[in-house]
Structure 1
């Protein structure tokens, strides 16, 4: 179990790539327009202003944004709800893997 007094756990984009190979859940908290312009396959777009509506606490969730700032805020919100949330440092700016775009 994690404590709300511990700092938010963060991982690199390389560590995220490894986690995604294990079918980990990834929330992209950027705006829908940012998400459509390029996102990680199987990520779920949930803009920062809607993060408090997130309900699934069945496993840890990784959170990404453009630079890592919004995702860290989102991780704090989710952790207050008892969800194990892991911030992705550097966000999409650091992601070197494949991206998909919405048509």
Structure 2
């Protein structure tokens, strides 16, 4: 059985927002590759949102509804990026740096 500190935190949530974990030593397995691909998409989305936020905030008269929508999207992206950072931090602690 895999120790809890060796589980990989996946980049999505389960029912009721609970974290999902992967127990495998196979980094080239289907679920590991799927998680890697989803993380890449999430990081790309976060980068795009950051650029959009910088551009939007440079305007003085941005409608409040637009700012609220942007804040909601940014908080979702930040949640995803934090989950990725947490997952990768746990992997580094268990395995050492990835090549």
TM over 0.5: no
Higher strand share: 1
Structure exhibiting the larger radius of gyration computed from Cα positions:
2
Larger helix proportion of the pair: 2
TM-score normalised by structure 1 residue count: 0.28
TM-score, length of structure 2 as denominator length: 0.29
